[in-house]
Amino acid sequence: MARRSRLSRVRRKRESRRAVVYIVLAIVIMLGLVTWGVPAMARLAGALFTSDSGVTGMEELSPTPPVFSDVPEATSSAKVTIGGFAQPGVEVVLVMDGSEEGRVLTNDAGVFEFDSIAITEGENKVVAYTVSARGKESEQSRSYTIRVDRTAPVLTLSSPEDGRVFRGQSERIAEFQGLVSEDGVRVYVGERVAIVSNDNTFELSYQLQEGDQDIEIKAVDKAGNESASRVKLRWEP
């Protein structure tokens, strides 16, 4: 019985010392966070697990793939700017049509940008990956295709006919209808946006003002190419 009592006292003392050590470590960590901030403490923690000669405590994980923020689907320009996000301090490698196009480092916020990247007529496939300071590579990012298109869409206006005169309140609304030659085209009648259907036909009900009016109809494709036509209409109350 006395022996059990001594063992119990020894265990309690050992647990008490361990608790004191944990409390001291917690205080040191909190003071470190207040004094040097999270980045410095993170680097200190990393130093406990790694060394210049390699990983000693745990294997370094590969960086995450970059994420593009704004890749144009189509453009009429010979150069584009491509940017996005990745882990701070890693190198982002841009690959265009299977060939490395360039490398940039992300800033402290993880932002990167490739400026004035040359692209060729037709389709250009773009991917990227990241490389850590120790040479670890990420998987490839999502793949994007940028299409260079310098051909303006064809705009065909079927109604109303140029020079038409509308009379009375029942004819104050002119129905604009027509067709564009490709998908994804935006059509404007004056300052208003027409509805374009899946079959590339468009329509818009347009309220006329009294007297003569010259109205522009404009079609703009995904690459920014545009074509336009005009009609002169007259409304008499």
pLDDT tens per residue, range 66-77: 999 989 999 999
Are 166 and 186 found together in one domain? Answer: yes
On the CB side of 211, how many CA atoms lie within 13 Å of its CA?
0
- Name the pTM for this structure: 0.63
Q: How many domains does the chain have?
A: 3
- Rounded mean pLDDT of 209-214? 96
Specify whether 43 is located in the same domain as 18.
yes
CATH for 93: 2.60.40.10
Contact yes or no for 86/66 (Cβ under 8 A): yes
The DSSP secondary-structure symbol of 64 reads: P
139-161: pLDDT as tens digits: 999 999 999 999 999 999 999 99
pLDDT digits (tens, 9 = 90+) for 185-198: 999 999 999 999 99
Instruction: Please tell me the distance from the alpha carbon of residue 105 to that of residue 94, in angstroms, as a whole number.
Output: 11
Q: What is the Cα–Cα distance from 68 to 203, expressed in whole angstroms?
A: 35
Asked if 167 contacts 93 with a C-beta cutoff of 8 angstroms, the reply is no
Does the residue 61 lie in any domain?
Answer: no
| Beta partners for residue 196, in sequence order | 202
Range among 50-54, 71-75, 174-178 with highest mean pLDDT value: 174-178
For the chain, give the mean pLDDT: 85
pLDDT of 4 reads 46
Residues in CB range of 24: below 8 A, 6 or more apart: none
Q: Containing domain of residue 21, as a range?
A: 2-55
Tell me the pairing of strands 155-159 and 173-180. antiparallel
Same domain? 136 vs 159? no
Residue 60 lies in a domain: no
Q: What is the chain's alpha carbon radius of gyration, rounded to the nearest angstrom?
A: 33
